[in-house]
Amino acid sequence: MATKHILIVPGDGIGQEVTAVGKKVLDKIAARFGHTFTYDEALVGHAAIEATGNPLPDESLAKMRASDAVLFGAVGHPKYDNDPSAKVRPEQGLLRMRKELGLYANLRPIKLFDELLDASSIKPEILKGADILFFRELTGDIYFGEKGRKNDGDTAFDIAEYSRFEVERIARKAFEAARTRRKKLCSVDKANVIETSRLWREVIQKIAPEYPDVEVEHQFVDATAMLLIKDPRRFDVVVTANLFGDILTDEASQIAGSMGMLASASIGDGTGVYEPIHGSAHDITGKGVANPLASILSAALLLDISFGMKAESNAVIHAVDQVLKAGFRTRDIANPQTPAHMIKGTDAIGEEVLKQL
C-alpha cells in the first residue's frame, strides 16, 4: 500500500472532460488495492492565459515539481491557431513545462486492441498484432531552438539543434526498452539531408555495440511514414527526434483506430507527466462525446512508470479491453455496424470501465 500525490492538470478543451474520467479510474484503483491518492489541480495553456496572462504560471510549475506524478489533459485554443502574431500562446506553457521538468523522453505506445481492428482505415490483416513503442525526444529540435523573423518579417527561421548528450540519453532509454520487448530498435532520421540527423545516426551507431542483443536498423523519416502504413508489424521500438516523433505518432494513431486511444508518458529525472496524444478538440468540447480511454490508459502508464504499480496498471488496461470486448464504443471508434445503444459518451464509457474495475 502506498500514499501518492497526483496533480491533475486538465488544460483546455476536452482535456477538462477526459482527465475527470481518468481521476475516477485512479480513485477506483486506490480503493481496490488499498492505496491513498491525494490530488491537487493546476492551470496551464489557454485556461491559464485567461486567468493569469501566463500559459504556465509559476504556481502551476511549483505544484508539478511537488507532485509524485501529473495527469495532464491538453492545451490549445482556436483563437491562436489563425493568429501568427500572438505573442503568448497556450503551447508555450506545454514547452516550458517539458523544459523545466526535464521531460526529455516521450513514450507513446501504439498497441492495437483486437476489438478495434475495424476502427482503423488500414486493412485488418495488415494491422493485427501491431505493437510499437515510440521514444520521441522531447526537449530539443526546432521546438526549442532559436527562432525569429528577418528581412522586415518576410523571412522566418527555426533552428534545429541537438547535442550528443541529448541524443545519447534518449537512445539509451530506447535500447533498454527494446531489451524487454522483441529486441528490435529502429532509429528514424533524415541523415541524407539534415546535419542534426547525421549526429543522431552517429550517436546511435556508437552506442549500439553496447547492446549486442538488440537488432538496430536506421530508416529515413519519409520511408518510416510509408512503412508504418504498409507494414506496422515490422516495428518494435522506434526512437526519433522531436519533430519527426510528433508527426509519426499522430500518423500511427490510425494503427490504434483513433487518437482517442493513445496514451503517452513524458519522463525525465523528476516528476513524470501522463497525457493523451490528442489535442484540445474544441469542436467537440462540452458535447460529452470525447473518448476518455486515452486518458484512462495514460493513468495506467502513470501507475506503472511513476509508481511501479504493474498489477494496478494491468488492471486498468484489462478493464478497457473488457469494455471494448463487450462492444461499447465512443463515436470515434464506432463503425456503421455498431448498434446505436452501444455508442457511449465520455462519462458513460468511463462508467463501464469503472464497472470492470
User: What would the mean pLDDT of 189-206 be, rounded to a whole number?
Assistant: 98
Active site includes 118? no
Catalytic residue among 27, 68, 131, 246: 246
Higher pLDDT, residue 119 or 4: 4
Averaged pLDDT, 107-131 = 89
Q: Which of 27, 118, 250, 347 is catalytic?
A: 250
28 is catalytic: no
Residue 316 scores a pLDDT above 90:
yes
Residue 158's DSSP bridge partners are: 147
For the segment 336-357, the average pLDDT, to the nearest whole number, is 96
Over the Cα atoms of the chain, what is R_g? Answer: 20
Distance CA(327)–CA(187), nearest Å, equals 37
Which run of H or of E encompasses 135?
Answer: strand 131-137
Does the annotation mark 246 as catalytic?
yes
Given a cut of 80, whether residue 72 has pLDDT beyond it is yes
Going by C-alpha positions, the residue among 268, 292, 256, 253 that lies closest to residue 73 is 292
Q: How far is it, in rounded angstroms, from Cα 28 to Cα 22?
A: 10
- Active-site position among 143, 162, 211, 274: 143
In whole angstroms, what is the distance from residue 84 CA to residue 86 CA? 6
Which ranges of 277-356 does DSSP label H, i.e. alpha helix?
A: 293-305, 310-325, 346-356
Residue 212 — pLDDT band, cuts 50, 70, 90?
Answer: very high
Residue 86 has a pLDDT of: 82
Q: State which H helix or E strand residue 4 sits in.
A: strand 3-11
Compute φ and ψ for 47, nearest 5 degrees: -60, -40
Our answer to whether residue 222 is catalytic in this structure is yes
**Look-up of cell digits 537488432:** 215
The grid coordinates of residue 165 equal 548528450
269 is catalytic: no
pLDDT score of 42 more than 90: yes
Identified catalytic residue from 23, 63, 173, 190: 190
pLDDT tens string 254-273: 888 888 899 999 999 889 99
Question: Stretch 164-178: mean pLDDT, rounded?
Answer: 97
Set 40, 58, 83, 222: catalytic member? 222
Mean pLDDT of 4-17: 97
Give me 301's grid cell: 502508464
pLDDT recorded at residue 158: 96
Q: Is the pLDDT of residue 87 over 90?
A: no
Q: Around 267, how many Cα atoms within 13 Å sit in the side-chain half-sphere? A: 18
Please tell me whether the overall predicted TM-score, pTM, comes out greater than 0.75 for this model.
Answer: yes
